[in-house]
Structure 1
């Protein structure tokens, strides 16, 4: 018996298949999931998601979201899931720079929702850049 993983973004189902293990970027730290894991629901932060399928390790940059874990299935709902080949390093750097500049120009009384949005853009850009650069070296 194996573990079934589904990774879903608002645009599409990114992956659905059998895996032997999954590493998720939980808000309280990285979580390793194996078959038979206790049921849980956890928030995810932007970072790296890794899974092993058919002896091959696959790594993705993911955004914020949630993971629902049962003993035989993991559902990942996230606002971004990109493999290394899908990441445009220049675009990610530009998005991060724009968000940092906008954040730096905001006043103390500005909208907290806008601040959170900009911080999310920065976190997702960093996740993409970290994945791209680690695999380049």
Structure 2
């Protein structure tokens, strides 16, 4: 399988840079798999678990929302946060989920509800990435 260059960046660091055979990410319209020579594309990404196929092995990471740009021979993903499963503090993620669930039960203001829902989605995604 042919390879292409993938770069994943966050505001804090260059999370990943290297050649991959495939990347699977969740766009706002659903999961999308990128292979070498994919048509040019720019799409927003959802909070999800991203999958990278590198030399036949699959690596997973938790990502927050962001954008993906596909050009000839290179894919760039820019997200607010990205973590490998071994970087995730499971207890911290579970506590964040509990706090978000409590805020959702208590909040009536729509802006607070939206923030709590996003926090809950991020926490659940991190827990799922760690558990898999």
**Alignment TM-score, normalising by the size of structure 2:** 0.92
Matched residues in 2 for 1:111 and 1:5: separation? 37
| CA drift at 1:96 | 1.0
Q: Partner residue of 1:115? A: 113
How many Å apart are 1:121 and its aligned residue?
Answer: 1.2
User: Offset of 1:124 from its aligned partner?
Assistant: 1.1
**C-alpha contact (below 8 Å) 2:3/2:22 kept by paired residues:** no
Q: Which residue of 1 aligns with 2:31?
A: 30
Give the 3-state SS of the residue equivalent to 1:92 in structure 2.
helix
Q: How far apart, CA to CA, are the structure 2 residues paired with 1:51 and 1:10?
A: 21
Q: 1:106 maps to which residue?
A: 107
- CA distance in structure 2 between the partners assigned to 1:126 and 1:18 by the alignment: 29
CA RMSD of aligned residues (A): 1.3
Q: What is residue 124 of structure 1 aligned with on the other side?
A: 122
The SS at the match of 1:30 is strand
SS of 1:95's partner is helix
Asked if 1:84 corresponds to 2:90, the answer is no
Aligned length: 131
What secondary structure sits across from 2:17 in the alignment?
A: strand
Deviation at 1:2, TM superposition (A): 2.8
Query: Stretches of 4+ moved more than 4 A in 1?
Result: none
Counterpart in the other structure of 2:68: 67
Q: How much has 1:25 moved relative to structure 2?
A: 1.4
Distance in 2 between residues matched to 1:43 and 1:132, nearest whole Å: 24
Aligned-pair CA distance for 1:4: 0.7
Q: Which runs of 5+ in 1 are unaligned?
A: none
Q: What secondary structure sits across from 2:122 in the alignment?
A: helix
Superposed displacement of residue 71, structure 1: 2.6
User: How far off is 1:55 after superposition?
Assistant: 3.0
TM-score in terms of structure 1 length: 0.89
